[in-house]
Structure 1
Amino acid sequence: MDCRVIIFVLFVSSFSLGNALMCYKCTASSNSACNLQGNETCSGGNGTCMTTVFSTFVYSTYTKSCASLCTPTNINLYVGSTKVSCCTTDLCNVSGSPRRVASIIVATAMALISSAVGF
């Protein structure tokens, strides 16, 4: 076979093989443990990698996957927080940074509860 034909076939096949997005897919209590669970090739219109971090005073849950629709969100409540991040390059959902409730809010809430109860 002619060398030019082989180069042409390899060139064309490189475009068809490289278009599937890879994302981490996992659920765990820490970001590093989640990343160790593996990744997936997105399909069926899922063109976004999504990371959701739910945190409370006691624990955090990291969930990562492919998604067809992803809306970045950052909700901080007194008892916990939820952060959703979205990205569109291979394995871009490697990071997950929970936004824990600030310790000053926790201390203030505990002081208010203590004074209301009479401790």
Structure 2
Amino acid sequence: TGSSRMKVFLPVLLAALLGVEQAHSLVCFSCKNQKSNLNCLTPTMCSDSDHYCVTVSASAGIGNVVDLGRTLNKFCSPICPGPSVNLAVVSVGTHCCQSFLCNISAAGGGPQVSATVLAIGLLLSLLAVLLQP
């Protein structure tokens, strides 16, 4: 029956999602010069020499008076780039992390989501779709 196959499929799916975290190559989100984090959610398999997922968020402006925009970059890297910089006109936030898709946040140093939380969220979304009448 369909429900018995579902009972077997879900634990296998969850195990597969969590198992990816244990793989040798790191997987990070990547993007280049984007304005929105929605455009920065493309998973990329890093090379064996890459040990970090990096998020660099840069914004320019003068306080709340002049906003010159913001750019977001995400990538794999063998090293963690330099520290965050906050000058009067330019702010650059850099955040490094070392686990599966850990650079989901747009903030340089903002809240991070673990692979387990991502897997559970994906599983719940899948369940909601499959259980619809």
TM-score normalised by L of structure 1:
0.62
| Cross-structure match for 1:32 | 38
Q: Letter of the aligned partner of 1:24 in structure 2?
A: F
Name 2:47's counterpart in structure 1. 43
Contact kept in structure 2, 1:23 and 1:41, CA below 8 Å: yes
Offset of residue 29 of structure 1:
0.9
Q: Give identity over the alignment, percent.
A: 30
**Following superposition, which runs of at least 4 residues in structure 1 exceed 6 angstroms of deviation?**
none
Q: Which runs of 5+ in 2 are unaligned?
A: 1-18, 62-67, 110-133
Q: Structure 1, unaligned stretches of length 5 or more?
A: 1-13, 100-119
- TM-score by structure 2 length? 0.56
Partner of 1:63: 73
- How many equivalent pairs are there? 83
Contact map agreement 2:26 2:48 (CA 8 A) in 1: no
What root-mean-square deviation, in Å, do the aligned CA atoms of Structure 1 and Structure 2 show? 2.3
Kindly indicate whether the alpha-carbon contact (under 8 Å) linking 1:45 and 1:68 is maintained by their aligned counterparts in 2: yes
Which digits, 9 at most, give the CA deviation of each residue in 1:49-74, with x for residues without a partner?
Answer: 01111101221110001000114522
Structure whose CA Rg is larger: 1
